[in-house]
A and B are shown apart, each in its own frame.
Chain A
Amino acid sequence: MIATNSLQAAAIAVQGAPEIVGADTAWLLTSTALVLLMTPALAFFYGGLVRSKNILNTLMMSFASLGVVGVVWALAGYSLAFAPGNAWIGGLDFVFLRGVGLEAGEWGGFPHLLFMAFQGTFAIITAALISGAVVERMRFGPYLGFIALWTLLVYAPIAHWVWGGGWIGEMGALDFAGGAVVHVNAGVAAVVAALVVGSRKDYGRQAHLPHNVTYVLLGAGLLWFGWFGFNGGSALAADATAALAFVNTLLAPAATLVVWLLLDTFRAGKATAVGAATAIVVGLVSVTPAAGFVGPLSALAIGAIAAFPSYYAILYRSRSRLDDSLDVFAAHGTGGIVGAMLTGVFAQAAWGGTDGLLFGAPGLVLVQLIGIAAPAAYSGAATFLLLKAIARITPLRKHVREEGVGLDIVLHGEEGYARGEGAVLVLSEQPVRPARRPVPIPEHPAREIA
């Protein structure tokens, strides 16, 4: 047996192909499922924060990403991000998953196809994150077109720059699980989307309150759970680095949560539940670029420090004219920027990174800054052009009156909390289409109004 194994190993060594490792494959399978769960979790985090008349539309913006971005990623997005290419974009070798098979690839000891799926779950949630900036007003069709094209034109190139052999990765910037690729990218795109689509009709004049804070906490909890796969899986092996990333994913949000609740208490006298849920997300975002490069005490420090800029960014944003409705930038953009910069401060060769500012190598901070600024600039510009192009073809938002009625009924023909009273079953085979203009029904049989 031993002789045979070493013969196989020798044969593989000659061919230069890595071997499939059972443990690594098992962990990446698990991680892929964990990261996939983050998108439904995000749906509920966002869904609880909107008004009840828009709950289904908000959930659907995330759930639809599972479909649209999942398909786009498999057909072309993966290739543009990870196929051999130049410093700026991947090639077309993996389009339609050609050559993406069950043998282990250059990424590690697991099937190449599994790596495609793991990365696909990242693309899905990144697109879904942007929806938080345009909820309660954007039309569904243009949104779907936007996230499909955005995945190809914005996400895939930036993923290539950092992870796919592009120039930011070559430069030595550290982004363990996607601080720049996922969070700064989505955060900047969200601000641009909020500006191009415009504010909700009564924004700044009437309060738009969360309709179900319990969903917000449920979503935050499930995001945390899924994030163990997001960060832990990004080690791409079942090894010590995965354990470090996993533990840091536990510690950083814990520190953010404590600091956030203290900030809430000192500012307003009460620790809030929406604040706690937001803190968890901010902590998770901030440790994402650092997870496998910093020690556990550094992770606590990163989480604690990251609470401050995001906390005050949310306070500032909610008093501003910018209707980034669910604070995608304050949570993901700010958290991602702070996390990536602090990675440059706290990274440690002893824990698997390259030494940062605190460990005698101040140059890393500058590299990290470029690693944030370039994706942010590209994401902002490309998102702006993409949305403006879609707006030339079709309006991005519904009429104000339909916005008032609520997008669940107008866009989806369903209610999140239908009571069913007064519903009359339509027995015709053809779906009934509502008339374009309301038709008054004179002499309608009188009904008792409850």
Chain B
Amino acid sequence: MRLIIAIVRPEALGDVLEALFRADIRGLTVSSVQGHGGEMEQVETYRGMTVKMELHDKIRIEIGVSEPFVDRTVQAILSSARTGEVGDGKIFVLPVEKVYRIRSGEEDAEAVTPQDPGLTEILAGLTRDS
């Protein structure tokens, strides 16, 4: 299994989610973060006080997947989050030692995104219910 961590622009999130769902990736966690990826500082002015905002709002997406899903997950994010400008973000792919699904106690590949695409719909339904 792999843990895929992607940092993307907030305005790209809708497109990324759409691409992931199209690629049958259903289980993920999203958080709001701030960071700096070398992009241009954004200049703001408040009553004569000029500031450079060094940290930009980003979205961090974490997805645990089994091996067959790694590539399609990465491709989905790459294709949907890219604008070509500095600041599009990063994707990190990390090895995972162990995964448990809390509801059922399933382990490892059983506990992440389904391997059999035929089961996708059923399991997506179960995930929503839990």
Chain A residues packing against B (C-beta within 8 Å): 53, 202, 206, 401, 404-406, 409, 413-415, 418-419, 421-426, 428, 431-435, 438-442, 444, 447, 449-450
| C-alpha gap A422/B58 in the complex (Å) | 13
A449 B51 Cβ-Cβ under 8 A: no
Question: How far, in Å, is B23 (CB) from chain A's closest CB?
Answer: 18
B54 A438 Cβ-Cβ under 8 A: no
Contacts of A442 in B (CB 8 A): 38
A438 B85 Cβ-Cβ under 8 A: yes
B75 touches A (CB below 8 Å) = no
Q: A434-B40, A438-B85 are in contact. Are A424 and B52 (CB under 8 A)?
A: yes
Question: How far, in Å, is B60 (CB) from chain A's closest CB?
Answer: 8
| C-alpha gap A414/B44 in the complex (Å) | 5
A438 B87 Cβ-Cβ under 8 A: yes
Contacts of B106 in A (CB 8 A): none
Contacts of B7 in A (CB 8 A): 449
Binds A, one of B29-37, B97-105, B107-115: B29-37
| C-alpha gap A395/B56 in the complex (Å) | 28
B96 touches A (CB below 8 Å) = no
Contact partner, B54, options A418, A423, A440, Cβ 8 Å: A423
Interface residues of B in 74-127 (CB under 8 A from A): 83, 85-87
- 14 A-B pairs besides A421-B55, A434-B43, A441-B38 with CB distance below 8 A are A53-B10, A53-B11, A404-B12, A414-B44, A418-B44, A421-B34, A422-B36, A422-B55, A424-B41, A425-B51, A435-B40, A438-B40, A440-B39, A449-B36
**How many residues in B have their beta carbons less than 8 Å from beta carbons of A?**
31
Q: A413-B43, A414-B46, A431-B45 are in contact. Are A444 and B53 (CB under 8 A)?
A: no
Question: How far, in Å, is B26 (CB) from chain A's closest CB?
Answer: 18
- Please report whether the interface of chain A is mostly helix, strand, loop or mixed according to DSSP: loop
A409 B55 Cβ-Cβ under 8 A: no
B34 A450 Cβ-Cβ under 8 A: yes
A434 B34 Cβ-Cβ under 8 A: no
Question: How far, in Å, is A436 (CB) from chain B's closest CB?
Answer: 10
| Chain A to chain B contacts (Cβ below 8 Å), 7 pairs | A53-B11, A404-B11, A414-B45, A414-B46, A423-B51, A423-B53, A441-B39
Question: How far, in Å, is B24 (CB) from chain A's closest CB?
Answer: 20
Contacts of A433 in B (CB 8 A): 43
| C-alpha gap A117/B46 in the complex (Å) | 31
A409 B44 Cβ-Cβ under 8 A: yes
Q: Which residue of A lies closest to B40 (CB)?
A: A438
Contacts of B43 in A (CB 8 A): 413, 426, 431-434
A438 B44 Cβ-Cβ under 8 A: no
A447 B35 Cβ-Cβ under 8 A: yes
Q: Give the 3 A-B CB pairs with smallest separation, nearest first.
A: A422-B55, A404-B11, A449-B35
| C-alpha gap A423/B54 in the complex (Å) | 6
A426 B83 Cβ-Cβ under 8 A: no
Question: How far, in Å, is A403 (CB) from chain B's closest CB?
Answer: 8
Contacts of B46 in A (CB 8 A): 414
Contacts of A431 in B (CB 8 A): 43, 45, 50
Contact partner, B50, options A401, A426, A449, Cβ 8 Å: A426
Contact partner, A438, options B14, B18, B55, B86, Cβ 8 Å: B86
Contacts of B41 in A (CB 8 A): 424, 434
Q: Which residue of B lies closest to A414 (CB)?
A: B44
Contacts of A404 in B (CB 8 A): 9, 11-12
Contacts of A423 in B (CB 8 A): 44, 51-54
| C-alpha gap A413/B44 in the complex (Å) | 5
B51 A426 Cβ-Cβ under 8 A: yes
| C-alpha gap A401/B38 in the complex (Å) | 18
B52 A426 Cβ-Cβ under 8 A: yes
A405 B39 Cβ-Cβ under 8 A: no
